[in-house]
Amino acid sequence: MTYKRLGEYAAIGDGNTVVLVGRDGSIDWCPLPHVESPSVFAALLDSDRGGYFAVRPTQSFESVQRYYDRTNVLETTFSTAGRSATVTDFMPVSGASSFDDPSSAIYRKLCCDDGPIELSIEFEPRFDYARDVPEIESTADGIVASGDNDRVVLSSDLPLSRTADGHGANARVTLSPGETRWLVLSYGKKIPPEPSRHQTTLKNVVTYWQEWTHDCDESNCPVAGPWHDLVVRSSLVLKLLIHRETGAVCAAPTTSLPEEVGGVRNWDYRFNWIRDAAFTVRALSELNHLTEARSYFQLCLDHCRDHDPAEIQPLYSLHGENDLDEQVLGHLEGYRGSAPVRIGNAAQNQHQLDVYGELILAIYESVRYGEPITPADWEVMRKLVDYVCEGWDEPDASIWEPRDDPRQYVYSKVMCWVALDRGIKLAYAADSVNAPLDRWQACRANVREAILERGYSERTGSFVQSFNDDETLDAANLLVPVVGFLSPEDPRVQGTIDETIDRLATDDGLVRRYENDDGLPGEASPFIVCSFWLVTALALSGRTDEAIDYFESILKCASPLGLLAEAVDPETGEQRGNFPQAYSHIGLINSALYLGKATDSNGESPDPLGPNDLLKDGDLGGKIVRESDENEGSDIQ
């Protein structure tokens, strides 16, 4: 078995986990019951021993994948010599079915479109990242695979046989034109093979996704035009990555897919990074997914409530746990031989100052979109801003989490300024809150002065990566105008954009994160989200034609289904890194929103994220609620 390109995979999920289905009909990645759980199938990380679940023709074939319109229900159509069949893959979402099916279940509908056609079924589960090879038991209507701590049941109206080694199952079936069969894989609990019931479940799941998906009168849509469908697909990917119980956003559903094939930059991304917060809130809110935006707002508040400011981590599990110890799985060869394979993430222990700005900015953005905060919430936020006031001038690990010594990163200081700035604006906008405004304002001025004096290079005419470095660029500084630190027209912003294009970007607008040695061997491929930051900075600057050219060029990197990984190989155009990547899709959505305003026929210019004058004194009005009146909904005036 060989490795597929990442662009040959589709993603399905249920709000608990995400499964990757190859264009060849093979499920090569499947953690159960949650996305951060150990894998049941991991051929993505070791094609020989990782395990997989394949349905495909026995003859040579061509195939194409598509999603049902505005859903995460997948169709893979196989064509052989004059014959064809379609496999429909989906997972029930809690509340989307009238039946009490467990949500951690994968449904595979096999249908002969033009036949007869013979299909092969291969079921090779390998629990706990292939460290636990299960025993297989045949039942009257399927297969049970049992390991030390896991159990999955494969139910079917087809006869399935154990493989000779007793660790898998297979079957061959010839389908006549119009004939349909079902395979249902469930975690723990068996789902009986009942085709009529399964068909109803499919119908309900399709309805769920189509009712959730952004729908609009295109004349009033913030992303109307040529990018509308890609924005909708990105929102569907983002929904797959939002944990339905906690509202946490999973950065990606995979681990250890390399930034460079054969390299060691292989990380576990199945966690929630705080750095994504504000941009996530904006993307969800603008597309009217207010329930998800509200859940993420509450999650941000929970991080503030549950942790002393000094103990806030850059990332957490989707369930809020902070113990994410990094381990190496030496028995797996890694995607296309890219070892090591890691689970957990040591970045949990890094000190990253930017996360405080991200938290406060996400809360600020949520308030702009109508969310209230209580006086108790405000006190927690005040402690966070106080902490930034005390420690903004410390070195840190930066947004990129290099594994070398901490530095005085400019972007981290910008986000400290954001924490102070938005904290001050929230305090002014809400009457009668306790805030040391004189001290915060003085600190904000000091941070700003330090950034402009020590983080800007007159020699290069741009912001640089860290204080007193006259040369090294960092793509994160493209966000300086986006967060409102300087106006987009400021010559220092324009210089940073131009230097980024000259030194970090390819001709196609693919942007590398930075120039310097980060303590790891090999090279990182251009990051897709950095490319979208360039588009946004250009759109804010009024350089709309350039922004559109780069945006459309970057979109060509998406898979045929519109999915984006973390990075792109600039030589081959292949996607690299964990897949699909929430940050990339959030970047696409937000860039499209900025471009939508920049190209609006009424000439309206796009605003930075949380423009400085958006909340004026007293403007919050009903947004901060008295503790004693929370149930009644009364407000401080």
Alpha carbons 130 and 148: distance in angstroms, whole number: 12
What pLDDT is attached to residue 115?
Answer: 85
Alpha carbons 501 and 535: distance in angstroms, whole number: 11
State pLDDT tens for residues 536-576: 999 999 999 999 999 999 999 999 999 999 999 999 999 99
Mean pLDDT of 184-206: 93
SS3 annotation, 408-432: CEHHHHHHHHHHHHHHHHHHHHCCC
Q: What CATH topology corresponds to 6-198?
A: Beta-galactosidase; Chain A, domain 5 (2.70.98)
Alpha carbons 427 and 438: distance in angstroms, whole number: 12
- DSSP three-state, residue 578: coil
How long, in residues, is the chain?
637
What pLDDT is attached to residue 302?
Answer: 86
Mean pLDDT of 237-265: 94
Residue 242 has pLDDT above 60, yes or no: yes
Residue 113 has pLDDT above 60, yes or no: yes
Residue 392 has pLDDT above 90, yes or no: yes
What pLDDT is attached to residue 602?
Answer: 46
Peptide bond just before 611 cis, omega within 30 deg = no
Distance of CA 494 to the CA centre of its chain: 29
Residue pair 184/111 in contact (Cβ under 8 Å)? The answer is no
Query: Partners of 76 in the beta sheet?
Result: 65, 87
Residue pair 41/536 in contact (Cβ under 8 Å)? The answer is no
The DSSP string of 204-269 is HHHHHHHHHS----GGG-TT-STTHHHHHHHHHHHHHTB-TTT-PBPS-S-B---SSTTSS---B-
Round the average pLDDT of the chain to a whole number and report it.
Answer: 90
Helix axes 228-240, 277-286, angle to 10 degrees: 120
Least trusted range by pLDDT, from 37-41, 126-130, 335-339, 367-371: 367-371
Least trusted range by pLDDT, from 83-87, 359-363, 444-448: 359-363
Residue pair 125/138 in contact (Cβ under 8 Å)? The answer is no
Alpha carbons 376 and 373: distance in angstroms, whole number: 8
From first CA to last CA, the distance across the chain in angstroms is 67
Q: How many CA atoms lie within 13 A of 17 on its CB side?
A: 24
Peptide bond just before 580 cis, omega within 30 deg = yes
Alpha carbons 373 and 623: distance in angstroms, whole number: 6
Alpha carbons 314 and 274: distance in angstroms, whole number: 6
Structure tokens at 348: 């949990």
Residue of 551, 529, 593, 533 whose CA lies nearest to 216: 593
pLDDT-derived band at 166, boundaries 50, 70, 90: confident
Q: Which residue carries 């010839």 as its tokens?
A: 174
Q: Which residue carries 């999650």 as its tokens?
A: 299
Long-range contacts formed by 177-181: CB under 8 A, 24+ apart: 177/112, 177/113, 177/114, 177/115, 177/116, 178/111, 178/112, 179/111, 179/112, 179/115, 180/109, 180/110, 180/111, 180/112, 181/109, 181/110, 181/156, 181/157
Residue 621 CB coordination number (10 Å): 12
Q: Which residues of 123-156 are buried (b: 16+ CB within 10 A; e: fewer)?
A: bbbbbbbbebbbebeeeebbbbbbbeebebbbbb
Least trusted range by pLDDT, from 144-148, 218-222, 415-419, 465-469: 218-222
Residue pair 53/26 in contact (Cβ under 8 Å)? The answer is yes
Alpha carbons 367 and 615: distance in angstroms, whole number: 10
Least trusted range by pLDDT, from 175-179, 522-526, 613-617: 613-617
What pLDDT is attached to residue 634?
Answer: 25
How much of the chain exceeds pLDDT 90, in percent? 75
State pLDDT tens for residues 594-623: 998 887 744 455 565 554 444 444 444 445
- DSSP three-state, residue 316: strand
Alpha carbons 609 and 125: distance in angstroms, whole number: 46
pLDDT-derived band at 631, boundaries 50, 70, 90: very low
State pLDDT tens for residues 434-490: 899 999 999 999 999 999 999 999 999 999 999 989 999 999 999 999 999 999 999
Peptide bond just before 340 cis, omega within 30 deg = yes
Residue 523 CB coordination number (10 Å): 11
Residue pair 404/457 in contact (Cβ under 8 Å)? The answer is no
The CATH architecture one would assign to domain 226-610 is Alpha/alpha barrel (1.50)
Least trusted range by pLDDT, from 93-97, 323-327, 360-364, 541-545: 93-97
Alpha carbons 117 and 123: distance in angstroms, whole number: 20
Q: Which residue carries 């004194």 as its tokens?
A: 617
Q: What is the DSSP letter of 466?
A: B
Structure tokens at 455: 């983080």
Residue 169 has pLDDT above 70, yes or no: yes
Alpha carbons 582 and 250: distance in angstroms, whole number: 7
Alpha carbons 450 and 414: distance in angstroms, whole number: 10
Domain ranges of the chain: 6-198, 226-610
Structure tokens at 439: 């001290």
Least trusted range by pLDDT, from 216-220, 406-410, 609-613: 609-613
Alpha carbons 371 and 364: distance in angstroms, whole number: 9
What pLDDT is attached to residue 579?
Answer: 98
Alpha carbons 207 and 327: distance in angstroms, whole number: 41
Alpha carbons 450 and 446: distance in angstroms, whole number: 6
pLDDT-derived band at 636, boundaries 50, 70, 90: very low
pLDDT-derived band at 171, boundaries 50, 70, 90: very high
Mean pLDDT of 477-505: 97
